[in-house]
Amino acid sequence: YASAARLPGGVMAIIISTVPMFSLPIALALGNERFAWRRMLGLTLGLGGIALLIGPEASLPDRAMAAFVPLALVAPLLYATEGNLVARWGTQGLDSVQVLLAASLLGAVLMLPLALLSGQWIDPLAGIGAPEAALVAGAIIHALVYAGYVWMVGRAGSVFAAQTSYLVTGFGVLWSILFLQEVYSPHIWAAMTLMLGGIFLVQPRARIGLAPLPVIGDTGGKPHEGSDP
């Protein structure tokens, strides 16, 4: 959130697409994946895209924004770590909704003392205005979308679900242009091209799959017959 408040929305959408880039070296370290030169080339393209975002003078509207790009990269790094941990050790029989509920409760417990110590605690009963309503709506949308993503992994397999990276980046840039009237330099368009090319090369082929363990099942507990093994 600290970086999202300072970086253009389209740039944030490009940065979040680096999840597969971070996922590859973590997967190799955990033994979830095998080394392939094609995927290493994709990782190199992704790094080139990041370099274009923070390097050229004309890439970001304000050069001070470049300092927040590494901070923004922490989110996709943790997403990639999460995916690999699930692929390596599974979800202990929990379905997608249960996994998301447990993660949300754990996050609330961890963030409560941080909010109190940093003076950022707000009283949710003090009244709801437009900002608070937007935050609640965003939380509900996030919960539904994230649960849907985990469900889709169980239904269609992790390889198919990973294609959402393209949609996140494309729609993020599109909404930023339409709603925020953002205008991007050629360097940012080039960075997005490199990122999407890197995602295409990094993601595994359909015959490989991301997780050697059984996929996460539906809320009912049983995976669909057509889901990946």
pLDDT tens track for 130-183: 888 888 898 899 888 888 877 776 676 666 666 777 788 888 889 999 988 988
pLDDT score recorded for residue 58:
55
Banded model confidence at residue 56, pLDDT cuts 50, 70, 90? low
- Structurally, the chain folds into a number of domains equal to 1
Q: Residue 15: inside a domain, yes or no?
A: yes
Q: Residue 78: inside a domain, yes or no?
A: yes
pTM of the prediction? 0.72
**Which residue did the predictor score with more confidence, 52 or 154?**
52
Contact by Cβ (8 Å): 172, 13: yes
Query: Residue 157 and residue 171: Cα distance in Å, rounded?
Result: 23
Percentage of the chain exceeding pLDDT 70: 83
Q: Residue 223: inside a domain, yes or no?
A: no
Banded model confidence at residue 38, pLDDT cuts 50, 70, 90? confident
pLDDT score recorded for residue 48:
86
- Is residue 126's pLDDT more than 50? yes
Q: Residue 138: inside a domain, yes or no?
A: no
pLDDT score recorded for residue 105:
92
Cα angle 158, 161, 163 (rounded to 5 degrees) comes to 120
Q: Which of 89-98, 122-131, 183-192, 218-227 has the highest mean pLDDT?
A: 183-192
Count other Cβ atoms within 10 Å, centred on residue 91: 19
CA 146 from chain centre, in angstroms, equals 10
Query: Residue 119 and residue 132: Cα distance in Å, rounded?
Result: 18
Q: Residue 123: inside a domain, yes or no?
A: no
Q: Residue 224: inside a domain, yes or no?
A: no
Helix, strand, coil in percent for the chain, rounding step 5: 65, 0, 35
Q: Residue 228: inside a domain, yes or no?
A: no
Domain that holds residue 17: 9-118+144-202
pLDDT-wise least confident of 14-18, 96-100, 146-150, 210-214: 210-214
What residues contact 25, with CB distance under 8 A and at least 6 apart? Answer: 43
